[in-house]
A and B are shown apart, each in its own frame.
Chain A
Amino acid sequence: MVDKNQAIIDFLLDCPQIAYNPLFFNAIKAKDNDKQIVTQSDDVTLDEKYIDGSVMKRFTFTIIDFRSVVYQPLPKVAGYTSENVQEMFDVQGMLDWVNEQAENENYPDFGTNCLIDSMKTTSNTPNLNGVDTSVTPALAKYSISIQIEYLDTNKAVWNS
């Protein structure tokens, strides 16, 4: 049986923002540019069961992206921006990368008995969960939640 968490990790290593920065799984002592995968539990009552015994399931996880922040006003000159805006734009690139993979049907490998039906981010822009001012430099915590729907045929009648 394929470890879906490892499949997700392997998949995300192709993302440029993740490939060149430290990646953590669930636990982290965050620094600037660190990324973290946080697993979520999915409600089994939302599973859709089909008459052949296969089940449509969800696999949801969140990527947290830690970015240093500056406490400076925005420059009021066209074409110039602040580090905060640039960081947000870079995080947005990670979200766009995930959706681009989905459009190309390039999915994580969940094994032959788990066919991925769709992958999507649950929002169009990253969520800012807050700024941690207890560390130096202060870190903004951006998050992107990703939901994968896959057809689990392990208990389909022809596999039983």
Chain B
Amino acid sequence: MASTIKQINLKPGQRAERKLLVTVAEWEEPISGTTGVETVREVMGVRTEDSAIEYNPDIQESTDILGNNYTDVNKTQPSQGFDPFLILGGSRLGAFLNDIRRRNALSELQAFTMYIITVFVGSEGQYEAEKHVDCSITYDSIGGDANVNFPITVHYSNKITTGTVDKIGADLQFTPDVTI
């Protein structure tokens, strides 16, 4: 079977800048004054200095009588924290989550679609990405010192569709991979 692995699009030895791993949140918001909804997206990470996807693997290790080790990976429960996640003018995600917080409408935290885009794989207009549906975003606290911080955690569903996106931004177009 031919390899479908696309190579990293950097020069040999060149490190991938952190900004080349992008998380985009997508959700539906009611349109004011109508019964309709609109799909909204936001690139995450504005004013966040450090954030990683933690896979939290559940592993089971055993050793046979010959001394060989075996590791079973039962599952992963990926999550990604954004701290600080500042309340910023123009952030629709901040406004959406804050609205959920004030209504304590916890069930509405579970209907996010997340895109993880690896800009360091693929080419311009065809960056590799994965789409997770039915993800949750939880808020951990709100407050802070000089500015209002509203740290959040994304809980990925692992309901994954792989594909590509044409650009980085709220108006990105996701194209699922075609399996033959």
- Where the two chains meet, the residues of A that have a C-beta atom closer than 8 Å to any C-beta of B are 48-54, 56, 151, 155-158, 160
> Do residues B49 and A157 form an inter-chain contact, with CB atoms below 8 A?
no
Chain B residues with CB under 8 A of A155 = 19
Taking CB atoms and an 8 Å cut-off, the chain B residues in 4-59 that contact chain A are 17-22, 43-51
> Do residues A157 and B46 form an inter-chain contact, with CB atoms below 8 A?
no
**Of B18, B19, B45, B46, which contacts A160 at CB under 8 A?**
B19
In the complex, B169 has a CB within 8 A of chain A: yes
In the complex, B154 has a CB within 8 A of chain A: no
Bound-complex Cα distance A156 to B119 (A):
13
**Of B43, B47, B48, B51, which contacts A157 at CB under 8 A?**
B43
Chain A residues with CB under 8 A of B100 = none
- Where the two chains meet, the residues of B that have a C-beta atom closer than 8 Å to any C-beta of A are 17-22, 43-51, 119, 167-169
Chain B contact residues: over half helix, strand or loop, or mixed?
loop
Chain A contact residues: over half helix, strand or loop, or mixed?
loop
Bound-complex Cα distance A48 to B46 (A):
12
Q: Offer 5 A-B interface pairs, CB within 8 angstroms, sorted by A.
A: A50-B46, A50-B49, A157-B119, A158-B169, A160-B168
Within the complex, what minimum Cβ distance (angstroms) separates B178 from chain A? 26
> Do residues A52 and B49 form an inter-chain contact, with CB atoms below 8 A?
no
Given the known interface contacts A157-B119, A157-B168, A158-B168, the answer about A52 and B46 at a Cβ–Cβ threshold of 8 Å is yes
Chain B residues with CB under 8 A of A50 = 45-49
> Do residues B43 and A158 form an inter-chain contact, with CB atoms below 8 A?
yes
Chain A residues with CB under 8 A of B51 = 51
Bound-complex Cα distance A48 to B49 (A):
7
Chain B residues with CB under 8 A of A52 = 19, 22, 43-46, 48
